[in-house]
Amino acid sequence: MAAAHVEITSYAEVVLAPLNADLAHRAFSNLFVTTEVLGRPAGDPLHAPEADGPTKPAPWMFHLLVQPGQPDAETSYETDRARFIGRGRRLDRPAAMDASVPRASRRLAARSLDPIVAIRRVATIAPDESATVHDRLRAPRARARRRWR
């Protein structure tokens, strides 16, 4: 028997503003979200709005999809909801899941009017084995300069 290759996709919508501010002005809050790629060669999406000034640091979050004990697989990601879902599509059948869509979408830094975090990787599972994949989505109070594994 050959090893199985299972494609895993994780998706979440980015909300970094306080709830009341997001509900009152969702589009305005999203205008200031920037995506940055950190870490491994494929990178991990990190979202952070611009700071409100030197005394108030910007909130931020990161999203990571890892298979412990396995080498880093080719990872693709999308940070724009419209590109992920596609024109005339819905979230229950997004264009990003179509077989014809390239799996290596990598943008080093970007802004989106409707930011999301979507990461896709392939988990390889040997015959008669199991696999564990960790999906980490966090919004710590301060941005740390370390790898989140």
pLDDT at 44: 53
Order of all β-strands in the sheet with 115-125: 4-13, 115-125, 75-80
Question: pTM here?
Answer: 0.75
User: Mean pLDDT of all residues in the chain?
Assistant: 77
Over the stretch 110-141, which tens digit does the pLDDT of each residue have?
677 788 888 888 888 889 999 898 998 887 77
pLDDT at 91: 92
- Copy the structure tokens of residue 108: 């080093």
**Which of 23, 14, 75 lies closest to 47, judged by CA?**
14
Scanning 1-149, the segments in alpha helix (DSSP H) are: 19-24, 26-30, 81-85
CA distance to 55, 108, 148, per residue, from 38 (Å) = 25, 9, 10
CB atoms < 10 A from the CB of 76, how many?
Answer: 19
Q: Tell me, what amino acid is at 71?
A: P
Residues 6+ apart with CB under 8 A from 137: 10, 12, 61, 62, 63, 64, 117
CA distance 6 to 76: 14
Lowest-pLDDT range of 36-40, 98-102, 137-141: 36-40
